[in-house]
């Protein structure tokens, strides 16, 4: 029988009095899984525990059959990309990935070749000898990903790999992560943006306030989230015309005109975005911005958990 890639049992982690994760039990047999949750949900803590950066305060973390914090042999098989974008800016991409590959266990004479392979695989072949200091966020993320996979790990732990990157780099990174998964790697990827995870996998673990709130198929959580009225704020030269154009749509729950903007509450964000785009184009409006104040899972989780709480309270009264 093949051991699970990750097996976490009754795991809690405190930072002093602050709780990172609480009593998490979770098994990942393999494949690609998304860790989803708002900021502060415990995603990064769970990933650091899996990567062997820290020991749990309670419970056990078993990765690839061993304990990552205690066993360098296990860490040799893990590729971890942290959330932050700090790197050794004084180095070139080639130097950075070479030294990190060597430190991950690749023999000294093989490390430069492994680094170049990984950087080229991440589309960084043209910037091998440029210093990281001058890189854009997208290039930094791709360099970090190259450093993550240069030593050919079996398990990739990618903490918010799409944060701050432009749409083109985002699409490229998604494609490359998918390719790694297709090549048989086990990938754990985190995000607080549902749509990013959705582009990568259908298997998700939802974390909230340090606990596993839900686990399974992404469409289930999508269904829950889509029940939550989603706000979209459209800033344009004639907001009343936009409001009039979509007022009759069955997914619109509420409309409000603010200074130079219309705020739409909808139960179907995808359709609403389509309708708004059509209204803007048909009327040749001058669109200044289209933003979603609810574009993070924090608001949704607050809504879901709060709603449950309120429902229970109503039932009891």
Partner 1 sequence: MSRGRGLSGGHATRALAGLALTRAVRGKALWIALALVLLPLIVVGVRVGLGHPADEIWETAFGTTLLVLPVVPSILVSASLSDELEEKTAAYLWSRALPRWSIVAGKLVGLAPIAAVIVVLGLTGAWALIGGPSAIPADTFARGVVGMAAGALAGATIAAMWATIVPRHAVAVSVVWLLFVDLPLGTLPVKVHYLSASFAALAIAGFEATAADGVAAFALLIVVPTAIAVRRI
List residues binding partner 1 (CB under 8 A): 48, 51-53, 72-73, 75-78, 80, 82, 84, 86-88, 90-91, 95, 99-100, 102-108, 110, 114, 147, 151-152
Residue the block writes with tokens 């900021």: 39
Alpha-helical runs (H) found in 6-60 = 43-51
Within 8 A by CB and 6+ apart from 2, the residues are 29
Q: CB 144 → partner 1: shortest distance, Å?
A: 9
Q: CB 287 → partner 1: shortest distance, Å?
A: 38
For partner 1, the closer CB: 48 or 230: 48
Could you count the other beta carbons within 10 Å of the beta carbon of residue 211? 16
Q: CB 172 → partner 1: shortest distance, Å?
A: 22
Q: Are 272 and 249 in contact (CB under 8 A)?
A: yes
Q: CB 18 → partner 1: shortest distance, Å?
A: 17
Q: Are 61 and 216 in contact (CB under 8 A)?
A: no
Q: CB 130 → partner 1: shortest distance, Å?
A: 14
Cα–Cα distance measured from residue 150 to residue 79, given in angstroms and rounded to the nearest whole number: 8
Tokens (6 digits) for 258: 């603010």
Q: Which class for 157: exposed (0-12), middle (13-18), buried (19 or more C-beta within 10 A)?
A: buried
Q: CB 51 → partner 1: shortest distance, Å?
A: 5
Could you count the other beta carbons within 10 Å of the beta carbon of residue 299? 16
Determine phi and psi for 6, rounding to 5 degrees: -135, 130
Q: What radius of gyration do the chain's Cα atoms show? A: 22
């Amino acid at each position: 029988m093949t051991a699970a890639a990750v097996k976490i049992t009754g795991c809690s982690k405190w930072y002093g009095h602050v709780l990172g994760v609480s009593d998490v039990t979770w098994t990942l047999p393999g494949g690609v899984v998304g860790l989803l949750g708002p900021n502060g949900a415990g995603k990064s803590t769970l990933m650091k525990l899996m990567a062997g950066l820290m020991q749990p305060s309670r419970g056990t973390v078993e990765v690839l059959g061993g304990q990552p914090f205690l066993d360098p042999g296990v860490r040799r098989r893990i590729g971890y990309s942290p959330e932050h974008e700090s790197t050794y800016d004084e180095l070139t991409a080639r130097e950075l990935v070479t030294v990190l590959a060597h430190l991950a266990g690749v023999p000294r004479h093989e490390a430069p070749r492994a680094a170049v392979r990984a950087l080229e695989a991440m589309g960084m072949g043209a910037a091998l000898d440029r210093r990281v200091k001058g890189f854009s966020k997208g290039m930094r993320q791709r360099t970090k990903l190259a450093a993550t996979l240069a030593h050919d790990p079996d398990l990739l732990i990618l903490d918010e790999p799409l944060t701050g990157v432009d749409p083109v780099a985002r699409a490229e990174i998604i494609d490359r992560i998918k390719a790694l998964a297709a090549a048989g790697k086990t990938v754990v990827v985190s995000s607080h943006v549902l749509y990013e995870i959705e582009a990568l996998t259908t298997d998700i673990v939802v974390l909230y306030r340090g606990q596993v709130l839900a686990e399974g198929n992404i469409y289930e959580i999508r269904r829950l989230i889509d029940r939550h009225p989603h706000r979209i704020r459209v800033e344009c030269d004639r907001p009343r015309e936009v409001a009039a154009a979509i007022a009759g749509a069955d997914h619109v729950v509420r409309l409000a005109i603010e200074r130079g903007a219309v705020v739409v509450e909808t139960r179907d964000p995808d359709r609403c975005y389509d309708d708004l785009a059509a209204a803007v184009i048909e009327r040749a409006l001058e669109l200044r911005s289209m933003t979603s104040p609810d574009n993070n899972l924090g608001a949704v989780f607050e809504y879901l958990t709060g709603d449950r709480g309120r429902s229970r309270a109503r039932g009891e009264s």
